[in-house]
Amino acid sequence: MTEDIDIKQNICPKCGKPTKKGLCPECRIAETEWLVCDKRVQCTQCPTCNSIKNGAIWSDCNMETEDLIAEIALSAVHLHENMNDYNIQLSHFDPSPNRTSVKIKISGEIYGRHVEDECRTLIVWIKEQCDRCSRYSGGYYAGVIQVRADGRRPDDHERAVTEEIATEIEDSVQNAGERLSFITETKNTKDGVDIVISSHNLGESISREIKKRLGGKVTKHPKLIGEKDGRPLYRITYLIRLPRYQKGEILYSKGKYLEVRYIESGLLKVFDFEDGMLKSLREDEVERSVGNIRVVENALVTHTEGDTAGILDPKSYESREVLIPKWLHIREGSEIRVIRDPENDLLIPVG
Ligand SMILES: [Zn+2]
Ligand SMILES: [Zn+2]
């Protein structure tokens, strides 16, 4: 190595200042585009539900406006890969209703020197109705769930459970990102409940859960309504027929009070309040329905004697005598649950 070359390596070829190797840090920084900032960024947002469109894909946006502005502004900033320990500060104002101007201040370290600079980006807000909202407003639907009951009308409890299941499942599929699965309309009619749904998946899930919780049968009735991208398009009616007798219903048959526990191959499996045994019962053996185990009264036990107990009628406060079922342990001064049968003027201990 000659002395000449050594001197060249030790001074900056640009400014002549001494340096270890090549350009000095200042000249190197001056030549480096360490901050690049896009002048404009676009954001397409649904004016109804605030969903955001990325490319062709819509997704829900749960961010506060401030956070959304920050995220979009930062997407406009491109920093050199050698930047370290940087700090970014944002401030913004809206020059017009659909524009937000963001000032971005950046400081950091590059090639061992502190640098700072600022730039400005303009967020252009584009309002566009999202896929979901346009389906909503267009009244789009893929099917109807019809909840009916066998030989009777669904009662208030069954109607409430149905609506609860429907909204629970709608929420869970929405949270799982199935944007286009939603309930278009719920109609509570004389005959039952109709739930209008926007996807077959929602129809399947809701009808399956109603059957699981309330029993009954589900039948599906598809109807061809057209074609999309060469594939047939169906609307499906999910007909749920709730059983004639509900789980928990108290039935009267041949002088006995029985609670429906479940239904198995067409037979009612019932709990006999007299002997505490589980029995099978045919529907045609049922004389009448007395009530439901959900609706019981609490009666105070005033005394017991052998297999009878004195209880206080919770409505009239008259003393009544009831037979103590063998399966039930009754203590004086405690309360027992009773079902009222006005037809036979009886209170039946049920627990
Ligand atoms: Zn230099
Ligand atoms: Zn929307």
- Residue whose C-alpha is closest to residue 252's, from 122, 341, 345: 341
Contacts of 111 (CB under 8 A, 6+ apart): 25, 28, 29, 32, 82
| DSSP conformational letter for 156 | H
- Binned at pLDDT 50, 70 and 90, residue 1 comes out as very low
Ligand located closest to 127 CA: 2
pLDDT digits (tens, 9 = 90+) for 2-18: 445 555 568 888 888 88
Closest listed ligand to the CA of 44? 2
As a three-state string, the secondary structure of 42-84 is: EEEECCCCCCEEECCEEECCCCCHHHHHHHHHHHCEEECCCCE
pLDDT digits (tens, 9 = 90+) for 87-134: 999 999 999 999 999 999 999 999 888 999 999 999 999 999 999 999
Q: Give residue 14 CA to ligand 1 midpoint distance, Å.
A: 5
Ligand nearest to the CA of 24: 1
What is the CATH T-level fold of the domain 245-289, as seen in this structure?
SH3 type barrels. (2.30.30)
Residue 179 corresponds to which tokens in the numbers above? 């944007």
- Tell me how far the alpha carbon of residue 99 lies from the centroid of ligand 2, in angstroms: 20
Closest-lying ligand to the alpha carbon of 19? 1
Ligand that lies nearest to the alpha carbon of residue 30, given by its number in the listed order: 1
Amino acid at 154: P
Ligand 2 centroid to Cα of residue 143, in Å, is 21
Class of domain 296-351: mainly beta
- Domain extents in the chain: 32-127, 139-242, 245-289, 296-351
Of all ligands present, the nearest one to the C-alpha of 14 is: 1
Q: Are 163 and 254 in contact (CB under 8 A)?
A: no
d(CA 131, ligand 2 centre) in Å? 7
d(CA 68, ligand 2 centre) in Å = 16
Give me ligand 1 centre to Cα 12, in Å. Answer: 5
Ligand 2 centroid to residue 134 C-alpha, Å = 7
Q: What's the confidence (pLDDT) of residue 9?
A: 61
Which has the closest alpha carbon to 116: 125, 106, 126, 104?
A: 106
Q: What is the pLDDT of residues 188-245, one digit of tens each?
A: 999 999 999 999 999 999 999 999 999 889 999 999 988 888 888 899 999 999 999 9
User: How many angstroms separate the alpha carbon of residue 27 from the centre of ligand 2?
Assistant: 51
Nearest CA to 258 among 243, 240, 242, 278? 278
